[in-house]
Amino acid sequence: MEHLRRYGVHEIGLCEELLCKIKENLPLGAIVKKVNIRIGKLSGVNKEAFRFAFSSLIQNTELHSAILNILDIPVNVYCRNCYKDVEIEPPIFICPYCMSRDLEIITGKELDLLSIDIEEE
């Protein structure tokens, strides 16, 4: 586990939380095929580290055969200057219409479990 801890402590914690949530809701005898989550570009989560944490943490558990499917959530902001909703590409936080920096983040901070695909025995 040492190399894993160095790789992404933040992601391990988040992944453990996610796996707990899944296990709590898992019907008895169900085999998890796929775990669908969404990660926003501004969530601060390193996707590769999260994938690595996931594949390490599910070993020898009832989730060992699960595949992690990550949906990327882009950064959408609301410009308080020109009142437009627009997608931006971090780390550039400037409205492409009016060049204002007065932006409100609408999406991009997510880290959510969307669904799991299971196969019941």
Give the interface with Zn ion as residue ranges (CB under 5 A): 79, 81-82, 95, 97-98, 100
Strands 67-73 and 30-40, by their bridges, are parallel
Terminal Cα-to-Cα distance of the chain (whole angstroms): 32
Choice between 55 and 76, CB closer to Zn ion: 76
Please give the C-alpha separations between residue 21 and each of 16, 18, 40, in angstroms, as whole numbers: 9, 5, 19
Choice between 23 and 84, CB closer to Zn ion: 84
Report the nearest approach of Zn ion to the CB of residue 106 (Å): 14
Report the nearest approach of Zn ion to the CB of residue 87 (Å): 13
Choice between 20 and 98, CB closer to Zn ion: 98
Q: What letter does residue 9 receive in the DSSP assignment?
A: H
For residue 8, count other CB atoms closer than 10 A to its CB: 19
Report the nearest approach of Zn ion to the CB of residue 17 (Å): 36
